[in-house]
Structure 1
C-alpha cells in the first residue's frame, strides 16, 4: 500500500580518516620515548605527545555550512499577518523555524509549494475553480524526487488558544537555493501523510496522497533569500 510517512531528519556527522600502514607506524613511534618499548598489555595508551601538530584535512567535515538563509512573511487571505518563517542551512540539512499568529487553535499542516505566489481567490497553475492561495501550486518536488512524502512536506504546527504557535524542524528534502521564490503554506487542518486505516479504504486515493486531506490554505508566504 502506497503511503506517505512523516520523516524525522536527524543530522549525523561522520568523519572518515584513512591512515596508511606507514602513518600508523609513525604514530605509534611518536607515542614512545627513545628508551621505551611498546607494550603488549591490553587497554594501554601511548604516551601523550606535546607540541604543535599539523591540522588534518578531512575534506571539509565539520566546516560551517555556506548554504545561505531565507525568510517568508506569512499572511492570511484578508492580508492580516499570520507569522514568519525562516530557513537556515546547517550541516547538510535546512532548519525550518515557523512562528505563527492569528490562527485557529489546533494542529495545522505546513508545506512548501512550488510557486512563489500567495494570491487570495486565485486559480491553480493547472486551472480549476479559484480558492485562496491556489496560485502557489502543488507541493514542492525538487529535481529527482517524484515520490511521497514530497520534498516540501513539513511537520504540522500546533496553535494554542491564543492563536499562536511555534515549531522548529530539520529536513534534508531540499536546500536553500531550491526553495527561493517558492511558498510556504499553512492549512486549516493537519496532514495525515496518507495514513488511512484500511477499515476506511484499502489505500489512500490520489487526493489524499497529494494533499494529506489538510483542507483549505489559510496562510501563505513567499520564500526569499535573506
Structure 2
C-alpha cells in the first residue's frame, strides 16, 4: 500500500546506531554503543567520503538506486551529541570546508517547493530526516527518498554533481530556508553525471 499522496515520501529513519547512548527513544531506531562509525564499504551503487571543515574524512555516504527513489546510508563521527539536519545540495563540491561548504550550493529543489518535511507547502527533494549522534559523536542512519533517482537523468546525474551536507543543529522541518539547522559541518561530494 502506498503512502497517501507520498506526503511522507522521504521516510523516517529506519535505523540509527548511536554511540554512547544506552536507551531507545524511538520505535524506528536501533541503538548501539559503537565507539566508531561503521564502514559502508561494498554497499550501494555510489559512495563518497564525508569531510569535516578541516578536509579530514569523518564518515561516508552510500546510495543505492531503488525501484522508486534512492536508499541512503550515512556513517559519521566527530559530531556534537544531538540531532543534526542533513540535506542534498546542488553541487558536488566540498572543497571549501573552512568557509562552510558553500561551494555545494543550495538545496536540490527542482519542483521549487518550500523547505521542510512538515511544511504543508513543501517539501524539497533535498529534505531528509535528522540524524542523531550519541555522546561519542557517532551516528549512522539509513534513509529513503522517493523524489530523486540515480537512474532517471535528474539532478543527481547532472554535470556538476551533488553533495550530502550534515548541519550543526537539528532541522525543524518548517523554518525557511534550512529549518534552522545552522552551519554546515560535514560534506560528501558526488559526481555521477557526464
Same fold judged by TM-score > 0.5? yes
1:1-59 Cα shifts (integer Å, max 9, x gaps)? xxxxx83546xxxxxxxxxxxxxxxxxxxxxxxxxxxxxxxxxxxxxxxxxxxxxxxxx
| Pairing partner for 1:186 from 135, 157, 166 | 166
For 2:3, the equivalent position in structure 1 comes to none
How many positions carry a matched residue from both structures? 141
Change (3 A) 1:92 1:171: same
CA contact (8 A) 2:9 2:147 kept: no
Aligned 8 A contact 2:82 2:134 in 1: yes
State yes or no: 1:72 paired with 2:48.
yes
Decide which of 110, 119, 124 is 2:86's aligned counterpart.
110
Q: 1:213: Cα distance to partner? A: 0.9
TM-score (norm 2): 0.66
The answer for the alignment partner of 1:14 in structure 2 is: none
Where does structure 2 lack aligned partners over 5 or more consecutive residues? 1-6, 12-43, 114-121
Alignment RMSD, CA only? Answer: 2.2
* Residues 72 and 224 in structure 1, CA contact (< 8 A), matched pair in contact too: no
Q: Deviations over 1:104-147 (max 9, x none)?
A: 1111000000011113267xxxxxxxx310111111113xx111
Q: Which residue of 2 aligns with 1:154?
A: 128
> Matched residues in 2 for 1:120 and 1:135: separation?
6
1:168 is the counterpart of 2:142: yes
* Structure 1 CA distance for aligned equivalents of residues 146 and 9 of structure 2: 10
| Cα gap change, 1:217 to 1:89, in 2 (>3 Å) | same
Displacement of 1:69: 2.1
**Residues 1-226 of structure 1 correspond to what in structure 2 (within 5 A)?**
7-9=8-10, 69-120=45-96, 131-142=99-110, 145-147=111-113, 148-176=122-150, 177=153, 178-180=155-157, 181-194=161-174, 208-225=175-192
Q: Secondary structure at the match of 1:192?
A: coil
Please, what TM-score do these two structures have when normalized by structure 1?
0.58
CA contact (8 A) 1:119 1:134 kept: no
- 1:161-205 Cα offsets, whole Å, 9 max, x none, are 1111111111111111431410000000011111xxxxxxxxxxx
Higher strand share: 2
| Structure whose CA Rg is larger | 1
